[in-house]
């Protein structure tokens, strides 16, 4: 080899190494392991991969494992058919293997037998998940430690819900435009579709709803179904099923049927035929997600029918094809004297037991709408005869878009670990959702996706962790937020121990910090109108009373907060008595939920020793100070991170600090008008006036 050539290669190499990390690879970074001892050890374990069958998903599993191991270990690894032998990693689908007997269908075991390692599962998907797990273990240095390692998913349907519109916009999306290029499909397959599927499969996500729940009927036309089919074909090798959101008035919209009444035989027939058509095009189609009679969408109530009537009509059309209907419980009539908190319960609780066996009801984690903190939804535990699916929101509609750093695992887990007491102590929301409490065959957890066309998928690099965490928790909600953060950081950012520690601490504290500078002590729904950005606690008028801020915070000269006890709206009564006891007494109610359930006098002493006003206003100041602390901490990561990612996150933290100051000053000045008390020491009065802050928020309401 000539010297020149070597120098040229060196230049190439340097170029590869110096290339800034644009975040595109997410947590799937199969770069050479830097720990040489470990790399050598792993290299000796695996010389080749063997697969026993040639199914699509198994081929994917082998290919991903090959790609990953080659990158991590820096050696070439062949994939062969057959069983292999010593040093050959076997991927085996074998429902009768004793190692997988006690596992769910998608569970897997990584076992060593006769000096051969194998990934075994009852299903192809299980092997795929086993392979991704093995890659993660190799990256983290925990592979091949036990002769038998196994995992089993707790939730059967682990799905993303995309609120993506046909023209490429995303409702509540903050990371560019939709990943799906509907005009280009089916002929053009963006390579990104494959990378999207890989990322999902790597964390166990096995279903996606492609389109917005405020659904265009066009997705049910033949023209669009062939586009959907093209995506389904990309996702199928990754074990991912495709669902569609539907518009309940489709028979009317698409074929001029005079009604969409779910009990009308023409409508029944229409859906039966349409569903059969879909399955003739996409044989493994997952089913429908439905937003009906909610925020202006059509639904069965337009014809005096119930949500169950609507769901069951669709369930019946889907049943012959083993499809599912997932019916959303996000409904709320506009009642200025009512309490939106109770609306979904009122509509759905009486329908328990009336849904078909292939229908699930999808419930948002809380009763209002993805606030930074909500009590768990009162329907959890109250519909034992109905499988309830969880709906979490990954996209940061109420969490500062893509300019705020909020690690959501603690938020998700807070809900999942809440005790409904439905069947006594320990009846957690998680056990309602996973079907174990009431013995349901189906279980589902949905995350409203935070993905978009931005190069790094999620806008804020740190928001990648929310996609990751959602998948991991849907697989196993017993993982701690800390475990997931640690895994994610090591795969995505760095393995430098101190830096991992710094970032992990930032992640774990980020949500509470966000709560502090926006809606402390259980304040909720005081964000900017429509856009849901910034503070607008002064919002008094909107198209609906329950879209204002004053409907929720109820500030007056006496105090602050929404009385949901029996003296107020009595929403608390929707919960089990134990829960009522937990939250029902203003003196004992945990502070994070205080203003959710009580109208508390400004002067009331809280458990912290401060009055409500002092504690409440101090939280805003502490929240802002915490963002400054985040900025300082982040500076320390600089020597150990890719500089493109470091700089990007640093910039976003600076934006977050500016926005936190706006939130603080707006809320403190606005509520001070009612509390009529000074800013508690040692904090200084905002230098800006309330009018100045109102102007800042008004900008976002302009065309």
- Residue numbers of the site for its own copies (CB under 8 A)? 1, 6, 8-10, 12-13, 15-16, 20, 74, 166-169, 174, 176-177, 183-184, 187-189, 191-192, 214, 216-218, 221, 223-224, 247, 253, 401-403, 452-455, 531, 533, 644, 648, 651-652, 654-655, 658, 695-696, 699-700, 702-703
Q: Which is nearer to its own copies, 222 or 567 (CB)?
A: 222
Residue 397 annotated as catalytic = yes
Q: Rounded to the nearest whole angstrom, what is the least distance from the CB of residue 9 to its own copies in the complex?
A: 4
Which structure tokens are listed for 356? 């078909």
Q: Rounded to the nearest whole angstrom, what is the least distance from the CB of residue 356 to its own copies in the complex?
A: 28
**Bridge partners, 288 (sequence order):** 244, 325
Q: Rounded to the nearest whole angstrom, what is the least distance from the CB of residue 16 to its own copies in the complex?
A: 5
Runs of H (alpha helix) within 203-325:
222-235, 250-255, 265-281, 307-318
List the catalytic residue out of 64, 369, 516, 614: 369
Q: Which is nearer to its own copies, 195 or 486 (CB)?
A: 195
Which structure tokens are listed for 237? 């090798």
Q: Which is nearer to its own copies, 104 or 232 (CB)?
A: 232
Torsion of CA 288, 293, 297, 300, to 10 degrees: 70
**Strands 108-113 and 148-151: what pairing?**
antiparallel
Q: Torsions phi, psi of 311, nearest 5?
A: -65, -40
Whether 489 and 503 have beta carbons less than 8 Å apart is answered as yes
One-character DSSP codes across 319-365 = GGGT-EEEEE-------TTS-GGGHHHHHHGGGTT-S-TTEEEEEES
116-121, strands of its sheet edge to edge = 78-81, 48-51, 88-93, 116-121, 108-113, 148-151
Residue 261 annotated as catalytic = no
Residue 482 annotated as catalytic = no
Q: Which is nearer to its own copies, 90 or 217 (CB)?
A: 217
Residue 580 CB-half CA count within 13 A: 12
Which SS3 state, helix, strand or coil, does residue 42 take?
Answer: helix
Whether 388 and 155 have beta carbons less than 8 Å apart is answered as no
Whether 569 and 562 have beta carbons less than 8 Å apart is answered as yes
| CA nearest neighbour of 250 among 220, 294, 228, 209 | 220
Q: Which is nearer to its own copies, 382 or 657 (CB)?
A: 657
Residues in the chain: 703
Whether 140 and 491 have beta carbons less than 8 Å apart is answered as yes
Q: Rounded to the nearest whole angstrom, what is the least distance from the CB of residue 403 to its own copies in the complex?
A: 5
Q: Which is nearer to its own copies, 215 or 361 (CB)?
A: 215
User: What is the CB neighbour count within 10 angstroms for residue 31?
Assistant: 11
Q: Rounded to the nearest whole angstrom, what is the least distance from the CB of residue 335 to its own copies in the complex?
A: 27
Q: Which is nearer to its own copies, 94 or 701 (CB)?
A: 701
Q: Rounded to the nearest whole angstrom, what is the least distance from the CB of residue 402 to its own copies in the complex?
A: 7
List the catalytic residue out of 151, 297, 397, 408: 397
Return d(Cα 259, Cα 250) in angstroms, integer. Answer: 10
Q: Rounded to the nearest whole angstrom, what is the least distance from the CB of residue 695 to its own copies in the complex?
A: 8
Q: Rounded to the nearest whole angstrom, what is the least distance from the CB of residue 497 to its own copies in the complex?
A: 26
Helix (H) or strand (E) holding 209: strand 207-209
User: What is the CB neighbour count within 10 angstroms for residue 8?
Assistant: 11
Q: Which is nearer to its own copies, 173 or 287 (CB)?
A: 173
One-character DSSP codes across 407-462 = --HHHHHHHHT-B--BTBTT-BHHHHHTSTTTT-S--EEEEE----SSTTSSSSGG
Q: Rounded to the nearest whole angstrom, what is the least distance from the CB of residue 118 to its own copies in the complex?
A: 29
Q: Which is nearer to its own copies, 74 or 87 (CB)?
A: 74
Q: Would you please indicate which residues are annotated as catalytic (active-site) residues?
A: 295, 369, 397
């Amino acid at each position: 080899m000539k010297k020149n050539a070597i120098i040229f290669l060196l230049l190439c190499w340097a170029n590869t190494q110096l290339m800034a990390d644009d975040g595109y690879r997410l947590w799937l970074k199969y770069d050479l392991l830097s720990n040489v001892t470990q790399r050598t050890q792993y290299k000796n374990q695996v010389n080749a991969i063997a697969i026993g069958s040639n199914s699509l998903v198994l081929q994917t599993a082998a290919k991903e494992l090959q790609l990953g191991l080659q990158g991590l270990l820096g050696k070439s690894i062949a994939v062969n058919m057959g069983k292999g032998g010593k040093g050959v990693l076997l991927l085996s689908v074998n429902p009768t293997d004793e190692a997988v007997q006690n596992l769910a269908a998608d569970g897997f075991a990584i076992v060593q037998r006769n000096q051969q390692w194998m990934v075994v599962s009852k299903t192809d998907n299980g092997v795929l998940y086993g392979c991704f797990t093995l890659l993660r273990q190799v990256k983290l240095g925990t592979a091949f430690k036990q002769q038998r390692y196994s995992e089993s998913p707790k939730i059967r349907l682990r799905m993303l819900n995309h609120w993506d519109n046909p023209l490429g916009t995303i409702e509540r999306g903050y990371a560019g435009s939709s990943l799906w290029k509907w005009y280009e499909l089916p002929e053009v397959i963006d390579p990104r579709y494959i990378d999207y599927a890989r990322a999902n499969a790597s964390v166990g996500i096995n279903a996606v709803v492609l389109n917005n729940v405020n659904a265009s009927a066009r997705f049910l036309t033949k023209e669009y179904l062939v586009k959907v089919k093209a995506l389904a074909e990309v996702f199928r090798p990754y074990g991912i099923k495709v669902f569609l959101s539907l518009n309940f008035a489709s028979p009317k919209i698409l074929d001029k049927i005079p009604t969409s009444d779910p009990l009308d035989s023409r409508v029944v027939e229409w859906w039966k035929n349409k569903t059969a058509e879909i399955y003739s095009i996409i044989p493994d189609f997952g089913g429908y997600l439905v937003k009906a009679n909610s925020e202006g969408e059509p639904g069965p109530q337009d014809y005096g029918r119930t949500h169950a009537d609507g769901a069951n009509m669709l369930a019946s059309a889907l049943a012959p094809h083993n499809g599912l209907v997932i019916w959303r419980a996000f409904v709320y009539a506009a009642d200025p004297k009512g309490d939106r908190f109770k609306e979904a319960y009122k509509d759905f609780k009486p329908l328990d037991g009336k849904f078909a066996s292939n229908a699930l009801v999808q419930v948002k984690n809380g009763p209002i709408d993805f606030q930074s903190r909500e009590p768990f939804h009162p329907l959890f535990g109250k519909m034992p005869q109905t499988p309830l699916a969880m709906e979490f929101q990954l996209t940061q509609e109420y969490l500062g878009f893509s300019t705020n750093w909020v690690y959501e695992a603690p938020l998700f887990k807070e809900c999942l670990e809440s005790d409904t007491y439905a069947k006594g102590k320990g009846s957690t929301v998680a056990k309602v959702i996973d079907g174990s409490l009431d013995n349901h065959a189906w279980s589902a957890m949905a995350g409203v996706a935070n993905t978009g066309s931005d190069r790094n998928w999620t806008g804020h690099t740190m928001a990648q962790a929310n996609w990751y965490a959602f998948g991991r928790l849907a697989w196993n909600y017993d993982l701690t937020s800390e475990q997931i953060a640690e895994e994610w950081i090591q795969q995505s950012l760095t393995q430098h121990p101190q830096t991992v520690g710094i970032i992990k601490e930032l992640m774990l504290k980020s949500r509470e910090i966000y709560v502090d500078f926006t809606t402390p002590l259980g304040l909720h729904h005081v964000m900017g109108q429509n856009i849901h950005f910034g503070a607008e606690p002064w919002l008094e008028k909107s198209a609906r009373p329950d879209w204002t801020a004053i409907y929720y915070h109820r500030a007056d000269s006496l105090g602050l907060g929404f009385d949901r006890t029996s003296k107020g709206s009595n929403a608390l009564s929707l919960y089990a008595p134990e829960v009522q006891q937990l939250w029902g007494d203003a003196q004992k109610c945990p502070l994070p939920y205080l203003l959710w359930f009580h109208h508390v006098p400004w002067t009331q002493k809280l458990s912290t020793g401060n009055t409500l006003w002092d504690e409440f206003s101090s939280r805003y100041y502490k929240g802002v100070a915490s963002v400054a602390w985040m900025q300082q901490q982040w500076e320390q990561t600089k020597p150990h991170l890719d500089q493109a990612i470091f700089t990007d996150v640093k910039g976003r933290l600076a934006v977050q600090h500016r926005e936190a100051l706006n939130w603080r000053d707006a809320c403190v000045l606005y509520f001070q008008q009612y509390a009529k008390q000074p800013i508690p020491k040692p904090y200084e009065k905002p230098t800006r006036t309330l009018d100045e802050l109102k102007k800042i928020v008004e900008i976002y309401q302009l065309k």
